[in-house]
Chain A
Amino acid sequence: MFCELHTRSAFSFLASGSLPETMAENAAHLGIPAIGLLDRDSVSGAVRFHFASRENGVKPIIGSEITMEDGSLLPLIPIDLSGYRNLCRLITKVKLRSPKGEHFATRRDIEDYSKGIICLTGGSDGFIHKSISRGDGLKDLAWLNYVFENRLYVELQRHYLKAEEDVNQDLLGLAHKMHLPVIASNGAYYADRKDRELYDVFTCIKNRTTIYHAGKLLSANAERYLKDQRAMLRLFEEMPETVERTQEIADRIVFSMDDVGYTFPDYPVPAGETPDSLLRSLSEKGAIERYGELTPKVKAKLDHELALIAKLKLAGYFLLVWDISHFCKSNGILSQGRGSAANSVVCYALGITAVDPIEGELLFERFLSEERGEYPDIDIDLPSGGDREKVIQYVYEKYGRRGAAMTANVITYRGRSAIREVGKVFGFSEDILGPLSKSISHYGISDFGEMLKRFEESGLDIRTDFRVRKFIELYTQILDFPRHLGQHSGGMILLPDGLDAVVPIEPASMEGRTIIQWDKDDCERLGIIKVDLLGLGMMAVLRDTLRLIEKHRREKVDLAKIPKDDPQVYDALQTGDTIGMFQVESRAQINFLPKSRPRCFYDIVVQVAIIRPGPIVGKMLSHYIRRRQGIEEIDYIHPWLEGVLRRTLGVPLFQEQLLRMSMIMAGFTGGQAEELRRAMGFKRADKRLAKIEKNLRDGMTLRGIEKQIQDRIVENIVAFANYGFPESHAASFALLAYASAYLKVHYLAEFTASMLNNYPLGFYSPATLIKDAQRHGLRFRHLDVNYSDYLFTIEDGAVRIGLKYVKGLRREVAEAIVAARTSVDGGYRPYNSVDELVRRVPLINKKEIRALSLAGALTFGRRLHRRKALWFSELAIRPKGELFSRYETADIGYGYDNNDNDLSAEVIRPMTEWQAMEADIGSMGITIGKHPLAFLRHELDKRGVFSAAQIGGLSKAEIVAVAGAVIVRQRPSTGNSVVFITMEDETGHSNFIVMPDVFERFRRVIINNSFLLIKGMVEDGRMIKALYFEPIGDFMTSIPSHDFH
């Protein structure tokens, strides 16, 4: 039988028109018994391909085309595990030693890693084809034969191309001369003939050209698709043995992705200890610290978990994670484990997680289960930025560059990128692609009606314009195709004894980082354990807030010990006054909080979990609110479930509840229950689900549960299983939410400064955070080169704006400004003039000093206004002549700064308050002056336009006009195309709901204007149903907003 040994998939990135799964499916369809995927310098599609092939009953063969020095490709296929290891090490070596995208293998590399590998000579872009055209065919083939003795096959590909056949004839001659076996392949770049179009589009994207200019870069015909035995025999009619021989090779290959040689990582333990014993002693010691004593309950839990960990040989992994956590603690880095790890007492005792699973009644099986055949995945939240990087680099240092790497993130073509890249290939101008990609991101990637409308607006019609039709076809086809490998946000794989033998490692775009060629799903499918080191902006905010509190108030706040029942915190939460607070600050949360009115910590856990697509779509949110408000009676479905659902008022919200429900009602074991959850998470789970549902019903029937109750339980489980949030995860987040709320309520200045210093994070722009803090009474001090640091600082309870926010000011310059304020003896040495600043900070450039002037940082004790400062800056930064350059460091002030009689004074007038506000926003994106709307209030009052504060007094169905700066535009996936808008004015926020027809009518006004006047009808909960929009004010500024995220 013919086996196609040489194909490529989209994981060759821009060099194939099909996904690995499609290749596997088509192979099965064509009756090809084995198929080889040889992506270019990569095995990143191998896992998906392996499982897809298995599913389709095709033998998957994994290999790779290796780029050689001359740009040609050498196809290599590992025969066994040693060959696979060699292939991975070869790819790792060539990738890690060169800058990204410039790698190639030398002949020496090939010789070093050739063991256990079969070599094919390749197609028209292959190593030998290039050699033949150079006249070195015989010599190079002899070299390959020497390196791959008995493992070299001369590969013939026939795509009905004359030039290719010419080389084939030469190649055949050489093969005969050297007695080498010849095989046939089609070098398939795509699964089906029609995929040639996408392949051509990728060629254009790769070469940054259009389909009209690509010329001979495009494929000559559409013959590089998967062909069956009959087609191949027709092609190789005169030498059928070349087709038959492929089966021999396929049989010779014993390597399978089922065993990639991965073993759970070990952790070095002291003499006399085993990983299990060390883990036990550390856990018990930690448990005593956490609980005060090792109670029988705690001991029993620990024993249960440790026994399972030992059985699954996972002690080394837990010790690795403990080691990272320990490093954080010893280096003063805040860290907190989250996710299902919070269900584990061992993790809690080791200090990896902060939530007590015993107190929270969390289910260990959600984290680790023997039956599931899966391995734990521990997520550690770290302050984003430098601290997280420190931890990552510690891991690299400890386990070596070949022993640790980040998991990859497969970046795929999504709405915007697909529109832009395919659009460019079809020669559409930016005028068309800009609005189109914008509208696609607003409408979602599959709304073709909207896409066609946007095309029609540009004068293009799918009915008449063939180009538009083709564009849409290809756009649809390219979605979800991999574009390149990125870096996962924090997943790290550790294997101290040779990760590079399991999977190739390559450099990431970010300096000092490396990634493996598989993403987290691939790792999970192969049973490879990862540790997630996730950067969380809020952790950095908490860290900085605590530092600032200690510095300015001489108070040491311990997050573990803050009171959990602080009334001010709950007051703020109950009124939805939560801007800046972790996880509870979104528009939806703010609307929901006054209805749910959280009263205890568990309410916050619920709050974090409930504003999610699952509960909203499954109507659990509305049931919960009504029950919470006492409007609806609490119903536990069945009395047995009261214990499980009591805390959530009978509404199943958490994955753990799902597991427990199945365990209680159907007698499922922990593992079976977890299998149920996972089955529901799969997109194509029908078969699996049907089987599990049957087991569930059988179990319930056995326990005498009536059919009606069974239906309700099944219905409830199905409704939220896809989206349900793990309770342990919600609890970890709730801890941070509470901590952020506590710090905001009690230490507003420190918290706000830290938020602004760690931006970007959260839901709102810095401008909104500042206005919110001001409404809470926080004072800000303006930017000043004599007082401002790079970051925001605290001065007498007020927040001083930091130089960080000055647009275009380099960090090193800002830091030089601050450093030069300190004299050699440590004293304070302020700047007295622009000229002096320029002299003392020679790094500063023209743009930076202008920006500082406009931001109001150069007033020198109010002696200069912004424009005057700018005028003097223009003098201070002018290029010096030869004479003056000799006196670079001398104190030769030009004296203009203090010259009040200067004639320019009459001409250069101070900015008005309005202009200063515009200059603030223009130069920093924030203002501590009046809100832009405050300037218009008088006019707006005259027009009868309300402020946000006035809306509270209105009753339902009243018609109202409100003006403000748009800070949020959202179209949630759960909202049936409804758009939500939040506006801000000097008094607060107003919220609007925009129905799809209204949005369509005012689409341009809504999207293109920062300041709007909206007329609408008051609905429940201060929400206004928008009916009419108009832009307001002659604003030169644009307000940053949180749009359609």
Chain B
Amino acid sequence: MNKLYACITVSGDEKQVFSAVEVAKRFAYRIEVSECTVLFDISGLEKRIGSPKRIAAAISQAMKDFGLKGTIAIAPDAGIAELHARSQDGITVIESESNKPLALEATGIGGDTLSVFRSLGFETTEDVARLPEDQLIERYGPQFRKILDIVNGNSGRILTSNLEENFVSWDYKLDFPIEDFGQLIFILGHGLGSVLREIEKKAYSTEKVEAVFQLENGEVASYCLKLSFPTLNQKFWLRLINLRISKQPPAAGIVSIRLICHFAAQRSIARGLFSASQPEPEDLLVTIAKIKNLVGEDNVGVPVLLNQRLPEAFVLDSEKVPVGKKSDEFSDSRPTLAFSYFRPPLRADVHISSNKLARIKTRYFSAAVIAYSGVWVNSSSWWTREYWQKMEWDVELEGHRLLRLALTRDGWFVTGGYD
């Protein structure tokens, strides 16, 4: 059977490539996808559809159905089909015994040599084909043979099907809707075990699991759990899923379950014989998940300092796992104080006497100011409409409380305290 390949190029947009793959799936099962090109094996389709031209027309129609715009090339050689699709507009069909000239740029000739060929007056592969091969090899070395093969319509390119799924899924349809999620734990555990085993078999791990529930009211409840490390610990995943779902249970009875586990490279752990034991990240994560359940998803995380001039130049990274720091990272020998931010800051009434802070009153306390330092002034973001300026004082109140006081456009606030 003669080989025949088709190639579609579309714009690099992810959706377009996805649609092009769907088009290719209509015609082939061996498909190779690269950035904006979908190359597929259509050998044998002549019997079903007809001549390569008719196949091209059918592919073109399929592309129209998907609302796709792009180029199509069909050739007995995968590489040639790809080069034509990439370099020529519309539809190009190369019959088995013929060859069509290609623009030299499309052949992958290096920029230097290409410019020489241009100066020699060569525009297409046809021009180069008229030169004695030995003279070309003499000048450009044996590696030019590859180009000559392309010139002769034989790229030697092999289609490598790469359209493999990068996840494993498990589906289960329930006989009747179940409202209490707790009743599904066993089934879910079974399913989870099954997909995790599948992943393990392929020498992968996972750091992202999705649980999708079809509900009896026709809606879909979807939960996505993403970790900062891969793990195949079934018990752990199940606890996380349980914690997450118990926090936001589905709005109606569940009628079907779909579990999706995405592949990730396995975790590498290399510990010295005498390294100090530390909690497994799974344990820590479960604890964090429990805390998140209590205080809210966005209020738990690892503080990450930002290299920006902002009123509070840090963010909470809720997906990051806290890690210990080596002691030598603290180079400053001065003692440091821990500071707790109040969320939200406490509105305060400040009494000023003789131009000095005298007393602070909030809904929780009222105390005289023993000493204070400041004012500390910070401002930035003048290049945006969000210009800000903050004035702060460090205040010692009677009873040895050390607080930070801020004056903003909205008035006085106690923004936090020193431990």
Per-residue B-contact encoding for A862-884, CB less than 8 Å = 1, 0 else: 00000100110011001100000
Cβ–Cβ < 8 Å partners of B383 in chain A: 197, 211, 426, 466-467, 470
- Judged by a CB distance under 8 angstroms, whether B380 is at the interface is yes
B residues 20-49 in Cβ contact with A at 8 Å: none
Contacts A197-B382, A215-B307 given; indicate if A907 touches B139 (C-beta within 8 A): no
- Judged by a CB distance under 8 angstroms, whether B376 is at the interface is yes
Contact yes or no, B309 A222, CB < 8 A: no
Contact yes or no, A850 B139, CB < 8 A: no
Contacts A426-B383, A466-B384 given; indicate if A850 touches B116 (C-beta within 8 A): yes
Q: How distant is the Cα of A221 from the Cα of B311 in the complex, in angstroms?
A: 12
Q: How far is the CB of A894 from chain B (nearest CB, A)?
A: 9
State how many residues of chain B have any CB contact under 8 Å with chain A.
34
Cβ-defined partner of B377 (8 Å) among A160, A215, A878, A908: A160
A residues 599-623 in Cβ contact with B at 8 Å: none
Cβ-defined partner of A904 (8 Å) among B131, B306, B378, B379: B131
Closest to A867 in B: B120
A-B CB pair tally, cutoff 8 Å = 89
Cβ–Cβ < 8 Å partners of B373 in chain A: 162, 165
- Judged by a CB distance under 8 angstroms, whether B333 is at the interface is yes
Cβ-defined partner of B333 (8 Å) among A135, A216, A867, A879: A135
- Judged by a CB distance under 8 angstroms, whether A220 is at the interface is yes
- Judged by a CB distance under 8 angstroms, whether A778 is at the interface is no
Cβ–Cβ < 8 Å partners of A223 in chain B: 377
Q: How far is the CB of A823 from chain B (nearest CB, A)?
A: 31
Contact yes or no, B376 A161, CB < 8 A: yes
Closest to A133 in B: B332
- Judged by a CB distance under 8 angstroms, whether A854 is at the interface is yes
Contact yes or no, B309 A870, CB < 8 A: no
Closest to A903 in B: B132
Cβ–Cβ < 8 Å partners of A907 in chain B: 127, 130-131
B residues 370-389 in Cβ contact with A at 8 Å: 373-380, 382-385, 389
- Judged by a CB distance under 8 angstroms, whether A200 is at the interface is yes
Cβ-defined partner of A878 (8 Å) among B141, B376, B378: B141
Per-residue B-contact encoding for A903-932, CB less than 8 Å = 1, 0 else: 110111101000100010000000000000
Q: How far is the CB of A113 from chain B (nearest CB, A)?
A: 34
Secondary structure of the A side of the interface?
helix
B residues 72-128 in Cβ contact with A at 8 Å: 112, 116, 119-121, 127
Q: How far is the CB of B288 from chain A (nearest CB, A)?
A: 29
Contact yes or no, B141 A220, CB < 8 A: no
Cβ–Cβ < 8 Å partners of A902 in chain B: 135
Cβ–Cβ < 8 Å partners of B116 in chain A: 850, 870, 874
Cβ–Cβ < 8 Å partners of B384 in chain A: 466-467
Contacts A215-B309, A854-B119, A908-B121 given; indicate if A200 touches B135 (C-beta within 8 A): no
Cβ-defined partner of B309 (8 Å) among A166, A218, A470, A850: A218
Cβ-defined partner of B376 (8 Å) among A160, A216, A222, A850: A160
B residues 169-228 in Cβ contact with A at 8 Å: none
Per-residue A-contact encoding for B273-312, CB less than 8 Å = 1, 0 else: 0000000000000000000000000000000001111000
Contacts A135-B333, A909-B121 given; indicate if A904 touches B135 (C-beta within 8 A): yes
Cβ–Cβ < 8 Å partners of A197 in chain B: 382-383
Q: How distant is the Cα of A467 from the Cα of B385 in the complex, in angstroms?
A: 9
Q: How distant is the Cα of A600 from the Cα of B138 in the complex, in angstroms?
A: 68
Q: How distant is the Cα of A216 from the Cα of B141 in the complex, in angstroms?
A: 54
Q: How distant is the Cα of A907 from the Cα of B128 in the complex, in angstroms?
A: 9
Q: How distant is the Cα of A508 from the Cα of B380 in the complex, in angstroms?
A: 37
Cβ–Cβ < 8 Å partners of B380 in chain A: 218-221
Which of B131, B140, B380 has the most chain A CB atoms inside 10 A of its CB?
Answer: B380
Cβ–Cβ < 8 Å partners of A919 in chain B: 119
A residues 879-895 in Cβ contact with B at 8 Å: 879
Cβ–Cβ < 8 Å partners of A470 in chain B: 382-383
Q: How distant is the Cα of A619 from the Cα of B138 in the complex, in angstroms?
A: 71
A residues 117-176 in Cβ contact with B at 8 Å: 135, 159-162, 165-166
Per-residue B-contact encoding for A410-437, CB less than 8 Å = 1, 0 else: 0000000000000000100000000000
Contact yes or no, A870 B119, CB < 8 A: yes
Q: How distant is the Cα of A902 from the Cα of B373 in the complex, in angstroms?
A: 92
Q: How distant is the Cα of A870 from the Cα of B119 in the complex, in angstroms?
A: 8
Cβ–Cβ < 8 Å partners of A906 in chain B: 130
A residues 199-218 in Cβ contact with B at 8 Å: 200, 211, 215-216, 218
Q: How far is the CB of B383 from chain A (nearest CB, A)?
A: 5
Per-residue B-contact encoding for A613-647, CB less than 8 Å = 1, 0 else: 00000000000000000000000000000000000
Cβ–Cβ < 8 Å partners of A879 in chain B: 141
Q: How far is the CB of B352 from chain A (nearest CB, A)?
A: 15
Contact yes or no, A904 B132, CB < 8 A: yes
Contacts A874-B116, A878-B138 given; indicate if A867 touches B121 (C-beta within 8 A): yes
Q: How far is the CB of A840 from chain B (nearest CB, A)?
A: 21
List 6 other contacts, CB 8 Å, given A165-B373, A874-B139, A906-B130.
A197-B382, A466-B384, A854-B119, A875-B135, A904-B135, A908-B120
Provide a sorted-by-A list of 14 A–B residue pairs whose CB atoms are within 8 angstroms. Answer: A160-B374, A161-B377, A162-B376, A211-B383, A215-B309, A216-B309, A218-B309, A220-B309, A220-B378, A221-B389, A470-B382, A874-B116, A902-B135, A904-B132
The 5 closest A-B pairs by CB, nearest first: A215-B307, A160-B377, A874-B139, A907-B130, A903-B132
